[in-house]
Structure 1
Amino acid sequence: MTGGSAIRGSRVGAGPMGEAERGDAAPRLYVSYYCANRHETRPAFAADAQIPDTWDCPRCGLPSNLDSTNPPPPPKIEPYKTHLAYVKERRSDAEAADILKEALQSLRDRRASGEVIY
């Protein structure tokens, strides 16, 4: 084995590619976005790209905007609602009782005619 400072698995002549081999980098524009937790995010955009008004903070996930003194508020989190909660929003107790009465009468009529066996 030969000693030396060569990186294992590399070949002779391998090295980082410089600007001469890749060409010039595209011009970039760094824009600062601020979230409600006072995090600053600086994504890079192409110089001719349209800059978005809002950006999601990579640290906390809250929305952020370009104004450091007035960041957007955190979104309101709605509690989980069950199907029954949505039904109760649409119908009053009296309407629910009428619908239940109608469904039971329909089932009784079907059973009496032999259409439903159970």
Structure 2
Amino acid sequence: MASGSAIRGSRVGAGPMGEAERGDSAPRVWVSFWCANGHETRPSFSEEAGIDIPETWDCPRCGFPAGQDRENPPAPARNEPYKTHLAYVKERRSDEDGAAILDEALAALRARRGG
């Protein structure tokens, strides 16, 4: 059963000329970055755009930061452990404050129930 699509199997920009049809690509410079695990990443940057090359780049293999100095890669960022809501509350309140708030809430609840 035919679908009726005349350009089936092709994509936008596809043609017999290939790159010559679209013109020359901009000149590129490749910069090597190394992470703490020794992975090398080589992103390319445009020479003509005037963009400053960043000092660090995220490693696509392990996610660690990578630097341009192979012997001294940047240290991985230290991840703080997940904190629960209770842990944040305990940072702001002392045990005495918590007990006072609980007593106040229980007194209000008992007053509403009439007991």
- Whether 1:46 aligns to 2:42 is no
SS at structure 1 position matched to 2:34 = strand
SS at structure 2 position matched to 1:34 = strand
Residue deviations 1:4-39, cap 9 Å, x none?
xxxxx8xxxx756254x3322210011111111111
Residue deviations 1:48-93, cap 9 Å, x none?
3321222111111111122222211111122222111111111111
Inter-partner Cα distance in structure 2 for 1:51 and 1:76: 25
TM, length-normalised to structure 1: 0.73
Runs of 5+ unmatched residues, structure 1: 1-8, 114-118
TM, length-normalised to structure 2: 0.75
In the other structure, the counterpart of 1:84 is: 86
In the other structure, the counterpart of 1:17 is: 18
In the other structure, the counterpart of 2:28 is: 28
Inter-partner Cα distance in structure 1 for 2:89 and 2:72: 39
Q: What is the RMSD computed on CA atoms of the aligned residues?
A: 2.3
> Quick one: percent identity of the two aligned structures?
61
In the other structure, the counterpart of 1:57 is: 59
SS at structure 1 position matched to 2:63 = coil
Runs of 5+ unmatched residues, structure 2: 1-8, 10-14
Q: Name the aligned partner's letter for residue 110 of structure 1.
A: R
SS at structure 2 position matched to 1:29 = strand
Inter-partner Cα distance in structure 2 for 1:16 and 1:96: 74
